[in-house]
Amino acid sequence: MAYDINLANRIRERLSELPNVEEKAMMGGLTFMYNDKMCVGIIKDELMCRIDPAFHETAVEKRGCVP
């Protein structure tokens, strides 16, 4: 398996209330699209998130977060 199924299920649960969410197999993993834009992805056991550039510096200071 190219991505962590447990992590995928957790993301599905969190996004379940939103309209216009679509899952796509991409880049050897799984991507969640919101309004036709990638917002969250999983490759192996790593989570990729699209974040507001204004919060980039704060985000990368958190443990485990890398650009």
Confidence of residue 2 (pLDDT cuts 50, 70, 90): confident
Q: Tens digits of per-residue pLDDT, 8-58?
A: 999 999 999 999 999 999 878 999 999 999 999 999 999 999 999 999 999
Report domain extents, the chain.
5-60
pTM greater than 0.95 (yes/no): no
Question: Tokens 């999983």 map to which residue?
Answer: 42
* Nearest Cα to Cα of residue 33 among 17, 56, 46, 50: 50
CA 20 to chain centroid: 15
pLDDT of residue 31: 96
Q: Which two tokens mark 60?
A: 């990368």
Pairwise CA distance, residues 32 & 20, whole Å: 10
